[in-house]
Amino acid sequence: MISIFRTFLLGILAGALIAIGGGANLQLSSMGQPIWGAVFFSFGLMCVCILQANLFTGKVGYALEKDKRYNIDICIMAIGNMVGALVMGYLAGLLFPNWTLSLDTKLLYGGEATWWGCLLRAMLAGVFVYLAVECFRILPSYPAKLIMVCLSIATMVLLGANHSVANAFYFAYGQIRIAGFDGWNATFSVLVAMVGNAIGSIIVYLLQNVLKKAVIPAKKED
């Protein structure tokens, strides 16, 4: 039980950190600085990596090489991520009423939104988060680690990819600040984004391992 509780708390922490990055993105974008907003969004994932918090999108790509317990932990941390992001989103809605928030491409339906668009954008986010986390894991120096996290996540934001945890934060903010906001649409959109994030991360994981086998020849038997 202690291990489960710790996994959950570190999931809440990760969700809150991603929300802080999302808040910085909204603040700067509302000031007409979307590029800097994308750059500062990466602050959240940098903190997640440094503090070793449990972020669903950063862990799910490695699910195929782990045991059953790891997959259970992923579900626990995903719930924690949602709790952290939602709480931060509701607080932001009370404290920062003037942020500009565009949700058309993040929702499943309404306006320009489509379910397949939401899914594909989420897969794209899964690709970039996996790349950021993997680069942080394998690069030898901290400056290189942080630069790659920043570049990966800033590119993700500028391309409009759907990060499920960040979207939970945005939707919570929207529920406070946007009249008539469709909570069910938001809920199902987050679930679809989580599936897309997982698919995108796992695809890159599989490609990475296929390339490793192709580039690095097997050791000859003695």
The Cβ of residue 65 has, within 10 Å, a number of other Cβ atoms equal to 9
Question: 125 with 203: CB under 8 angstroms?
Answer: no
Whether residue 66 lies inside any domain: the answer is yes
pLDDT at 221: 47
Across residues 143-165, what is the average pLDDT?
A: 96
Tally of domains in the chain? 1
Q: Which domain holds residue 74?
A: 2-215
Q: Are 219 and 144 in contact (CB under 8 A)?
A: no
pLDDT in tens, 71-99: 999 999 999 999 999 999 999 999 999 99
Q: pLDDT higher for 120 or 210?
A: 120
Residue among 33, 175, 164 at smallest CA distance from 93: 175
Contact 26, 37 (CB under 8 A): yes
Mean pLDDT taken over the chain: 92
> What is d(CA 10, CA 131) in angstroms, rounded to the nearest whole number?
21
Segment 109-126 mean pLDDT: 91
149 lies in some domain? yes
- Whether 221 is covered by a domain: the verdict is no
Q: What is the CATH number of the domain that holds 42?
A: 1.20.1080.10
Contact 54, 10 (CB under 8 A): yes
121-145 tens-digit pLDDT: 999 999 999 999 999 999 999 999 9
In a domain, 153, yes or no: yes
Q: pLDDT above 90 covers what percent of the chain?
A: 78
pLDDT score, position 218: 53
Place of tokens 């994932």: 45
Q: Tell me if 7 is assigned to some domain.
A: yes
Taken in order 175, 178, 184, 190, is the CA torsion positive or negative?
negative
Nearest-CA neighbor of 148 among 123, 129, 162, 125? 129
Model-level pTM? 0.91
Residue 222 domain flag: no
* Residue 27 counted as domain residue: yes
How far is it, in rounded angstroms, from Cα 9 to Cα 77? 8
Q: Where are the alpha helices (DSSP H) in the chain?
A: 2-30, 34-51, 56-59, 68-95, 115-138, 142-158, 164-177, 183-215
For residue 110, list its beta bridge partners: 113
Three-state DSSP at 48 gives helix
Give the Cβ contact number of residue 98 at 10 Å: 8
- Residue 113's DSSP bridge partners are 110
pLDDT at 216: 61
